[in-house]
Amino acid sequence: MRVDVVTIFPAFFDVLEVSLLGKARGAGLLDVRVHDLREYTTDRHRTVDDTPYGGGAGMVMKPEPWGAALDAIVADAASRPTFIFPSPAGELFTQATARELSVAPHLVFGCGRYEGIDERVFAYAATLGDVRLMSLGDYVLNGGEVASMAMIEAIGRLIPGVVGNPESLVEESHEDGLLEYPSYTKPAAWRGYDVPDVLLSGHHGRVADWRRDQRVARTRERRPDLLPSDPSA
């Protein structure tokens, strides 16, 4: 998968070199290219923002550098990319979204700062590929960089070969609408806390039943909105 990132803070993405995704890049499974939006400005001050038409607080990112950056990216692209613009005003990014996007050949993350990006950039991007405005949840971050990083990790780990044992992807939280069961390792007794007996029993059927019960119980406790019967969902 090819991933392009457009940002005024390229250094945010240095951490993609390390850990799981760094290995995926090294193995050729993930081709990540980070672009500094300021490289696509034409004025002496490398200006990326301006005051909003109609007034109001904050600054808006100018369309021209975005247009030039997106043009440069699609110029050497093999297919029409999917553009993802992180935004608290976007649709919710979920595990299902990550699954869907993990089979895309080419994603482009456009990281906005300030009060956002001139709306016409989204219309222009839609002439070059699919456009998705995506939110991580109901809170506000300062810009799209941290949100893009979260989405790149959630998507990237679903690409075949990136996570060593594919079975570890199956039973985890949010893959089937329930939270994950609790996990324990040795020692069986630690500082007065014991591992539940059933996990030491060697009885695979009872372990599976217990884990299922735990998943339902903690989902009801922590995330009742995930359960089909929740009237508040």
Q: From residue 141 to residue 170, what is the string marking binding to ligand 6GU with x (rule CB under 6 A)?
A: x-xx--x-----------------------
CB 144 within 8 A of CB 109: yes
- Burial letters for 180-212: b for 16+ Cβ neighbours within 10 Å, e otherwise? ebeeeeeeeeeeeeeeeeebeeeeeeebeebbe
Of 33-41, 134-142, 152-160, 162-170, the window that binds ligand 6GU (rule: CB under 6 A) is 134-142
Nearer residue to ligand 6GU within complex by CB, 155 or 178: 155
Among 137, 161, 166, 182, the residue binding ligand 6GU under the rule CB under 6 A is 137
Using the contact rule CB under 6 A, the part of the chain among 43-51, 97-105, 128-136, 221-229 near ligand 6GU is 128-136
Q: Given the rule CB under 6 A, which of 19-27, 86-94, 119-127, 186-194 is the region that contacts ligand 6GU?
A: 86-94
Kindly write out the interface string for residues 7-26 of this chain, putting x where it contacts ligand 6GU by CB under 6 A and - elsewhere: --------------------
Backbone dihedral region for residue 16 (phi beyond 0: left; psi -120 to 50: alpha; all else: beta): alpha
Token pair recorded at residue 54: 């109609």
Token duo for residue 112: 């906005």
Our finding on whether 89 is near ligand 6GU (CB under 6 A) is no
Decide whether 20 or 141 has the Cβ nearer to ligand 6GU.
141
Which among 33-41, 54-62, 124-132, 137-145 is the span making contact with ligand 6GU, rule CB under 6 A?
137-145
Whole-angstrom Cα distance, residue 185 to residue 196?
Answer: 11
Minimum distance from residue 4 beta carbon to ligand 6GU (Å) = 17
Residue 52: asked if its preceding bond is cis (omega within 30°), the reply is no
Binding residues: 112, 136-141
Contact positions vs ligand 6GU (CB under 6 A): 86-88, 134-137, 139-141, 143-144, 147
